[in-house]
Amino acid sequence: METVVIVGLGLIGGSFGLALRKAGFSGRIIGVSSESALREATARGVIGESASLEEAVPRADLVYLAQPIGRIVETLPALAPLLGPNTLVTDVGSTKRKIVACASAHLRNALFVGGHPMAGKEARGVAAADPDLFVGRPYFLTPIVPDHLLRPPVATFLGILDSIGARRLVIPASVHDQLVAATSHLPQLLSTALACVLARQPNAHDLATSAGPGLIDSMRLAMSSFDIWSDILETNSDLIDRLLAELEAEIGRQRKKLLDSGLSAEFAQANQFAARVRGPR
């Protein structure tokens, strides 16, 4: 693999460039992004060159789409006429059904493997890029044709993911979207809902200033920007809605039991699941 084109130089795109270099990649890294992001990415050593999509993609062995979901879906059709037969296209979109459907429709003859690194932090933009962002994190891969995983450019990319420390998980797009609806989108909306309910209390000011560590932690996700979440929620709303309905029912059950038999069984079930999520202490 000689030439990597990173389209979209935010936190993830920038971190991928830095991680590539840290892992010893010695080829070209070309950036396609806004002027300000390109300037910052060049200054931080994320990219060696910048170019337009039309100039960069024909030279690419790997096209790494690190844009928001809505932009990825706009970029994919534009790639079709620019791609060589062995160029691998991958993306980092946080939902996969819509992107995989779009790639299937527009890149029928190309090599495409959807991707989603479960990595992030509160700071955004290439200024926050971190070569270790992917270390130990799940990295979902959703091929449109399972056989593509055996093709040499894909094998090379999988080796790159290993070298930057990511934990690869190959799953169908629909299974991916179910997973993230539960592990990411539901916790996000719960934190947002909790913040909204508390913000509307008459004593909201006192609540904010007397918060203990539990509430402080519970408000971390509520800080998330709708800019990022708008596309995610829109492209996974059916699966999220099903889980929100279950949560609504669970809260109704809690209310009944709170005033009646108590929540001992619920705490026991939650203890057990939480222990599996958080691992041995």
Label residue 125 left, alpha or beta by phi (over 0 means left) and psi (-120 to 50 means alpha): left
Check: CB of residue 115 under 8 Å from CB of residue 141: yes
CA distance 192 to 186: 10
Q: How far apart are CB 92 and a second copy at their closest, in Å?
A: 14
Task: Give the CA dihedral 65, 69, 73, 76, nearest 10 degrees.
Answer: 10
Composition of the chain by helix, strand, coil, percent to 5: 55, 15, 30
Q: How far is the CB of 53 from a second copy (least distance, A)?
A: 29
Distances (CA, A) of 212 to 161, 207, 208, 209, 224: 39, 10, 9, 9, 20
Distance CA(178)–CA(96), nearest Å, equals 10
Kindly report the backbone phi and psi dihedral angles of residue 278, in degrees, each rounded to the nearest multiple of 5, phi listed first: -90, -5
Least distance CB 205 / a second copy (angstroms): 8
Distance CA 170, CA 149 (A): 9
Residue 223 CB, shortest distance to a second copy, in Å, is 5
280: tokens are: 């041995």
Rounded Cα distance, 123 and 240, in Å: 25
**Residue (127 or 243) nearer to a second copy, CB:** 243
Q: Given the complex with a second copy, which of 150 and 274 has the nearer CB atom? A: 274
Provide, rounded to whole angstroms, the least separation between the CB of residue 259 and a second copy: 6
Amino acid at 6: I
Please identify, using beta-carbon distances, which residue of 86 and 269 lies nearer to a second copy.
269
For a second copy, the closer CB: 85 or 212: 212
Nearer to a second copy, 107 or 263 (CB): 263
CB of 220 to a second copy, least distance (A): 6
Helix (H, G, I), strand (E, B) or coil at 63: strand
- Comparing C-alpha atoms, which of 3, 1, 19 is closest to residue 163? 19
Q: Shortest approach of a second copy to residue 277 CB, angstroms? A: 5
Q: Which lies closer to a second copy via its Cβ, residue 63 or residue 133?
A: 133
- Closer by beta carbon to a second copy, 66 or else 181: 181
